[in-house]
Amino acid sequence: MTISDSDGPDSNHQRPPSASDKTVEALGKLSEALEVVEHARGLLYGFHRLTGTADLALGEAVELLREAGHDALADEVDLDVLGRNVIEGRWTFQIVEDYDDHYYAAFKALEKRARDELVDGKRHLFEAEMKEDRRTHGRKHHEALPPEASK
């Protein structure tokens, strides 16, 4: 589907003439997969932050246990759990770094390369075309572009 009327998406969201429906669909699916990876990455960073916050609170618990006279329990928590690896040999920052360096970066680079090679680097073509198919042309709140882009 090629959008030619002035009521359509901006040029950054119009497919090049050489891009077939299957190409746009494939890139849309690749983009969808990347969005899931982005979500997973966010959850991984959440895991990293929550685990770090828990470890800091655990340190405070150790201090409070000592102040309350429970030295043996404080020692056990301090020695066995505080600062412990969450996965053998790794704290969460190391998991995040490995994910970013060995999976996320490769995935992101491949998705960009595919867009660069197949559709001149344009993003979200599948979604832009879906918007054109689903919106009611000429109806308020169904505009193709935000007001500032239409001027």
- List average pLDDT for each run of 10 residues in the chain, which is 151 residues long: 62 94 96 98 98 98 98 98 97 98 98 97 95 92 84 59
Q: Which residues of 44-79 are buried (b: 16+ CB within 10 A; e: fewer)?
A: beeebeeeeeebeeeeebbeebeeeeeeeebeebbe
pLDDT value of position 83: 96
pLDDT value of position 66: 98
Torsion of CA 32, 150, 21, 18, to 10 degrees: -120
pLDDT value of position 55: 97
pLDDT value of position 2: 43
pLDDT value of position 7: 81
